Homo-oligomer: A and B are copies of this chain.
Amino acid sequence: MAGPLTGVTVVDLTRVLAGPYCTMMLAELGARVIKVENPDGGDDSRQFEPFFQGKSAYFMSLNRGKESIALNLKDAADKAVFLGLVRRADVLAENFRPGTMEKLGLGYEMLKTIQPRLIYAAISGFGHTGPWREKPAYDLIVQALGGLMSVTGQPGSPPTKAGTSIGDITGGLFCLAGINAALFQRERTGLGTKIDVAMLDGQIAILESAVMRYATTGVIPGPMGNRHPSIAPFESFTTADRAIIVGIGNDSLFRRLCQALGRPELAGDPRFQSNRSRLVNIDALKDAIEEVLKHKPAEHWLTELELAGVPSCPINNIADSLASPQVRARNMLVEAGGLTMPGNPIKVSGVEETTTRRPAPELDEHGARIRRELSQG
């Protein structure tokens, strides 16, 4: 694929999710990604459910557009091939437990002696420094340790994880941004660097409002369901059939909402006249709104609210979401190897958008060709 990273070569030792997500995005931006897998089955996620035509959909999604070469990094001949790849690479990405590359004799300090321009990018659960660096980590573990679970869920419900692997994915995204910044820097300095991203650090970095509230008030935040901490009404509401979202950011929108509900007098109710008073009387406010909404289905209210210019939407399931006209228009579903998967959310002007991707590679699918390239100098 063409893109801003056209001409960049990535040697990719990553497995499973956080690392492969990062290198998938590098491929989406135009880089050539050469996935180095162990000859004994390759990336573990090749075995992960669900399967599509006998192949892991999980692996297919995260490794589209990449090449594969199988190398045993404990074997001298294969290691020489690997070092040949590193010599020609711009980026090396890995998400091993910290210390693994050093044990293989392939740590950053060594690799930079043979390739000073190398950008070495590591994603791990806890990072390459600190007392927890060698502990095992998974997405669920960093969501729990970082605190995100403690602020997710309905009020009074048990701590709840986000329904996607946000620990892995944000780790991958911070690493992606770091690699791209390092590529820019290298154009100016001629020198590579090492990027060390911890999934746990990423979890702290995305907490925003919860950290601010704790730092200013000392009160430990808990789950608030779908309610906004400081704006009302701004949450989900039940209708005659299913819940909808209504988000009212100011008094003028609140008046429009009351009008659309056929209850204009609510806007003048002293309990609801300002955002501050609406927050104080938030339960009474919710009751008053739902008392109206419960008589008609979501579809009816969404039409009325849109006509009134009130920010609102349905709560889509995955099927609804993927069928949205906007998702289609933005080319956010692509196909690789016959399977539908999310597209690239980074739209770059001048880069032609396509709706297909090269399928994820078979193990060692490109091994012979890559070895030939290396032997041809």
Contacts and interface: CB of A to CB of B under 8 A. Distances in A.
Contacts of A151: 163-164, 318
A116 interface: no
Nearest to A130: B329
Interface in A297-314: 311, 313-314
Nearest to A60: B212
B127 A347 contact: yes
A252 to B, nearest CB: 13
Given A180-B180, A236-B159, A147 B318 contact: yes
Contacts of A144: 236, 245, 313-316
Contacts of A173: 170, 173-174, 177
Contact of A224 (B49, B141, B163): B163
Interface string A220-246: 111111101110001110000001010
A83 interface: no
Contacts of A229: 49
Chain A interface: which size bin? 35 or more
Copies of this chain per assembly: 2
Contact of A131 (B130, B214, B325): B325
Contacts of A217: 50
Contact of A181 (B180, B201, B317): B180
A107 interface: no
A316 B132 CA distance: 15
Given A4-B193, A180-B181, A205-B344, 13 more contacts: A4-B185, A126-B326, A127-B347, A131-B329, A132-B326, A132-B329, A140-B228, A151-B163, A164-B210, A176-B177, A178-B346, A197-B345, A201-B332
Interface of A: 3-8, 17, 21, 25, 29, 48-52, 57-58, 61-62, 108, 126-133, 136-138, 140-141, 144-154, 157-166, 169-170, 173-178, 180-185, 187-188, 193-198, 200-217, 220-226, 228-230, 234-236, 243, 245, 247, 249, 311, 313-322, 324-327, 329-330, 332-333, 339-350
27 contacts: A50-B216, A126-B330, A127-B326, A127-B330, A132-B329, A133-B326, A137-B311, A138-B234, A140-B245, A141-B313, A147-B321, A150-B318, A152-B152, A157-B157, A160-B226, A163-B224, A164-B207, A169-B206, A178-B346, A183-B184, A193-B349, A198-B347, A201-B332, A204-B321, A207-B342, A212-B341, A220-B317
